Structure 1
Amino acid sequence: MTTSPHRLARYDRALYRSVARLSTPVLDEPLRQVSDFADFSKPWFLVAGALTLVGGPRGRRAAFAGLAAIGAASLVVNQPMKKASGVRRRPDRYGLGVPVQRWVRMPSSGSFPSGHSASAAAFAIAVGDVLPVLRPTLRVAASVIAFSRVYTGVHYPSDVLVGATVGALFGRLAGRLALQLDDKEQTS
């Protein structure tokens, strides 16, 4: 059984509306702030800076892997993928019922896929592969950022899902390369 693109779009809008209808005013301001703060990968640059300063050689390697994963994922998501998708329009927050108090600035780029989600997943996976002790915290942080993009109304759930998947792939690649370099250094 195949599902048509129109049916998938209906499911996507229905899930978007379900998130919009959540009666969680206590989350409005924190998730707005998280979504805004994640612009330009600020949280990941801060974590990478801290790892570079206090994480020793492995921390520096993890930071480099995380930033390399962000760079690769961002390039792919924000260039060929957004252009190939035919520039999917951003959701109509008003028409789909997202409460105004949740809104963040609506980006001018296309909606599909989510660059914030791609960067968050890329960094979390890459750094978590190199420093497993940070894996749970980084994955929760990446998930919160990804969810905040739907919650604030700037992305459909499928935008976030595809962005996070692409980011995770680049994160895994960067993390594995960093671990291989680590193994080579240790055997030398």
Structure 2
Amino acid sequence: MPLRPPSSSDTPSILPRSILAFDQQVGRRINGSTPRARADRALLGLSTSANNGLLWYAVAAGLALTGRTGRRAAVRGLLSLAGSSAVANLVAKPIFGGHRPVAADVPVARQLKVFPQSASFPSGHTASAAAFASGVAIESPALAVAVVPIAAAVGYSRLHVGAHWLSDVVGGALIGVGVAAAGRILVRSGRARS
């Protein structure tokens, strides 16, 4: 099923028409693809598990069990997540707004049980995922090798379930990486102090 193209009132006004058109193309391609039960369930589950940062709290707990470096990575990841969540949800969404893709245009197997009602731009899930993964990478590139693919999959899952446009996901990722980078400037990593 193709997505309904957004009208000018449905998208952030700061984005050029070329980006909006590309968003529509990507949305049509993803939601027009043949549903694959296993992938749809996995991505729907991944997207849902990242609600309210729950996935990242679980990953942080696992990292903390790996020792001192893992604990530092978990703390920096969670602090980065908290900062990016505040920036994305309390600052950027009220400023940029935008309507999400139409839930009815998403194949039923991919639909969220509760479709988000907040503004679309930026993706808070992606901002949190990128911030957590970037925070972990600052403390331990080795641990980030396991975390970054999960974060990328969360970002894609938001497209797959029809909760966001591509520009929302890219905007969220930029916020997440930016907040983690700002945190690195403010608080040097344990690797730099060692």
TM-score bin (small chain):
0.7 to 0.9
Deviations 1:28-47 (A, max 9, x none): 11111111111011111112
CA separation in 1, counterparts of 2:69 and 2:125?
26
Q: Which residue of the partner structure matches residue 160 of structure 1?
A: 169
What is the SS of the residue equivalent to 1:65? helix
The question of 1:31 aligning with 2:43 is answered yes
CA separation in 1, counterparts of 2:43 and 2:33?
13
Q: Which residue of the partner structure matches residue 106 of structure 2?
A: 98
* Unmatched runs of 5 consecutive residues or more in structure 2: 1-14
What is the SS of the residue equivalent to 1:88? coil
% identical aligned pairs: 33
- Maintained 8 Å contact 2:139/2:190: no
Q: CA deviation at 1:135?
A: 1.7
Q: Which residue of the partner structure matches residue 6 of structure 2?
A: none
Q: Which moved more, 1:132-141 or 1:62-71?
A: 132-141
CA separation in 1, counterparts of 2:184 and 2:72?
9
Q: Which residue among 127, 134, 139 is the counterpart of 1:130?
A: 139
* Unmatched runs of 5 consecutive residues or more in structure 1: none
CA separation in 2, counterparts of 1:134 and 1:175?
17
Map 1:37-56 onto structure 2 (within 5 A): 37-52=49-64, 54-56=65-67
CA separation in 2, counterparts of 1:137 and 1:180?
19
**TM-score computed with the length of structure 1 as normaliser:** 0.87
Q: Which residue of the partner structure matches residue 21 of structure 1?
A: 32
Deviations 1:93-128 (A, max 9, x none): 32xx42111001211111110000000000011102
CA separation in 2, counterparts of 1:175 and 1:67?
13
Q: Which residue of the partner structure matches residue 150 of structure 1?
A: 159
Q: Which residue of the partner structure matches residue 124 of structure 2?
A: 115
CA separation in 1, counterparts of 2:170 and 2:106?
19
Q: CA deviation at 1:67?
A: 0.7
Q: Which residue among 36, 57, 69 is the counterpart of 2:68?
A: 57
Q: How many residues align?
A: 178
Judging changes above 3 Å, is the alpha-carbon distance between structure 1 residues 181 and 134 closer, same or farther for their aligned structure 2 residues?
closer
CA separation in 2, counterparts of 1:179 and 1:24?
45
CA separation in 2, counterparts of 1:73 and 1:24?
32
Q: CA deviation at 1:7?
A: 2.8
**TM-score computed with the length of structure 2 as normaliser:** 0.84
- Maintained 8 Å contact 1:61/1:178: no
Q: Which moved more, 1:43-52 or 1:154-163?
A: 43-52
Q: CA deviation at 1:172?
A: 2.9
Q: Which moved more, 1:18-27 or 1:70-79?
A: 18-27
Counterpart residue identity of residue 110, structure 2: R
Q: CA RMSD in A?
A: 1.8
Q: Which residue among 65, 69, 89 is the counterpart of 1:78?
A: 89
